[in-house]
Structure 1
């Protein structure tokens, strides 16, 4: 199996407002392409929102996967949309905490997937004051275009963590599976827009 770790992608989120507040349908370039910068850099969020009758469009990328595999039943007829020449799969629906979610505030994501982090691989985690463990699932070059994989073990000095939160890097002694195949995932971002999933159970 080809590992996902380090693979580049980008997302377009089309935002609508329903009875429970704003939600976004998420489209992802992986594995259709590697989000080439010449196309990604030309995307315009306002134009995409108008073209797709959305309240807003959010551009989320470029990003890089940190899990080693994703287990997900994609079905035979996956929806593909094209944004500015970039083909993307429809992947998930996110219930947003607000139209402009703040760092370290969780959003609910219906993605029906299992994220697998292999034994012997490093993981990068946030620990919250209630004992919650949040594992980085993707790192981002949105805030810092130069942020790379080798920088991740040392982010504690760069993040503006809320009171009682901490950041750590560790090597897994056994595989870590974040199973949100039958329940919604809880996902948040740090102030560099790296994304983390809550480890339940």
Structure 2
């Protein structure tokens, strides 16, 4: 899939509680992309508690609306796709997430099995967090969950608004060459900032 940058979508996460000692909550992620653009009139009516009850989940998390920041996604979609409908919105099952808690805190990584490559084109801007270990986290989606007015044009200066933990920094720059975040054969590490924008780990740091 190409031409994704700026495209709108929404997600529903169905959360289950781990049954084995030391096993945390997990969530199955359903995404609207490819079926619809997360229509506002339907999304605004979703009831997380009702969704959780209907699907036998411990909880349901509503994650959206969001907008892609990568330019393309490479993913094997040759097999059958599992779909579900939430409040009249059709979605495709896309990933499984090992959550740090039932309500994950910002700047803490969650493990995501998504089997995909995110591609950012040369010459395009990227928006990044750098953690105290020198690792780079690249924004993969921006969110209107906390700030319904947050726009693409706001992202370059977002660092002034974020409540960054000590030792963290935010930056933006244009790519000199294509950037590929390849988690096709290994789990992705994903975190959110305090405005619920999402980032993928792109480098191991020092």
Q: Sort the TM-score into its range (normalised by shorter chain).
A: over 0.9
Quote the residue 1:13 is aligned against: 13
Q: Number of aligned pairs?
A: 201
1:65 is aligned to 2:94: no
Which residue number corresponds to residue 168 of structure 1?
171
Gaps of 5+ in 1: none
CA RMSD of aligned residues (A): 0.9
Q: State TM-score, norm by structure 1.
A: 0.98
Gapped regions of structure 2 (runs ≥ 5):
none
Work out whether residues 178 and 200 of structure 1, in 8 Å CA contact, stay in contact via their aligned partners in 2: no
SS in 2 for 1:27: strand
2:25 match: secondary structure: strand
Q: Is the 8 A contact 2:113 2:188 kept in 1?
A: yes
**CA shift digits 1:102-149 (9 cap, x unpaired):** 000000000000000000000000000101100000000000000000
- Distance (whole Å) between structure 2 residues aligned to residue 119 and residue 50 of structure 1: 45
CA distance in 1, matches of 2:50, 2:77: 29
Question: Which residue number in structure 1 is paired with residue 45 of structure 2?
Answer: 42
How far, CA to CA, are the matches of 1:126 and 1:23 in structure 2?
Answer: 25
The reply on whether 1:86 has 2:89 as its aligned counterpart is yes
Distance 2:159 2:92 in 1: 33
Segments of 4+ in structure 1 off by > 6 A?
none
Q: Find out whether 1:110 has 2:94 as its counterpart.
A: no
Matched residue SS, 1:21: coil
Q: Tell me the CA shift for residue 76 of structure 1.
A: 3.0
Q: Which residue of 2 aligns with 1:27?
A: 30
Q: Per-residue deviation at 1:2? A: 4.0
- SS of 1:186's equivalent in the other structure is strand
Give the structure-2-normalised TM-score.
Answer: 0.96
Deviation at 1:200, TM superposition (A): 3.6
Tell me how far 1:101 sits from its aligned partner: 0.6
Q: Contact 2:2–2:73 (CA<8 Å) still a contact in 1?
A: no
